Amino acid sequence: MSNAAYVIADVTVTDAEQMAKYREWSTKAMQEHGAEVLVRGGAIEVLEGDWQPSRLVVLKFADHARARAFYDSETYQHAKSLRAQAGIMRMLIVDGV
């Protein structure tokens, strides 16, 4: 049995209007691939280190393959194209236990 996988993104928004267009399309991609939104913004309190994220997103997928399919999908690739000038994205997939 596969373990859940998580997409974690650290987002710095530089153009809120354009980022709203990205969010619309990324939400469609999440719905298409069964993502469960665990974190999407909210207050951040750094406990250790020099990491200073401004906005975090955590998505849960059934497994790594489904998370990767979300990222590679036409819908998400369109979202990425809309985000190109709207902010800085740091994103990864990590397998759960």
The CATH number of whichever domain residue 22 belongs to comes to 3.30.70.100
Domain membership of residue 65 (yes or no) is yes
Per-residue model confidence as pLDDT tens digits over 9-56: 999 999 999 999 999 999 999 999 999 999 999 999 999 999 999 899
Domain membership of residue 67 (yes or no) is yes
- Report the share of the chain in percent with pLDDT over 70: 99
Give the separation between CA 97 and CA 86, rounded to whole angstroms. 34
Q: Taking residues 55-72, report their average pLDDT.
A: 97
Domain membership of residue 48 (yes or no) is no
Q: What per-residue confidence (pLDDT) applies to 49? A: 96
Of 15, 16, 40, 45, the closest CA to residue 27 belongs to 40
Domain membership of residue 49 (yes or no) is no
| End-to-end CA, the chain | 11
pTM over 0.85: yes
Domain membership of residue 91 (yes or no) is yes
Residue 1 above 70 pLDDT?
no
Q: Tokens representing 64? A: 């790594």
Domain membership of residue 16 (yes or no) is yes
How many structural domains is the chain composed of?
A: 1
Domain membership of residue 26 (yes or no) is yes
Per-residue model confidence as pLDDT tens digits over 77-91: 999 999 988 999 999
Domain that holds residue 34: 5-43+54-95
CA angle (66 as vertex; 65, 71 as ends), nearest 5:
95
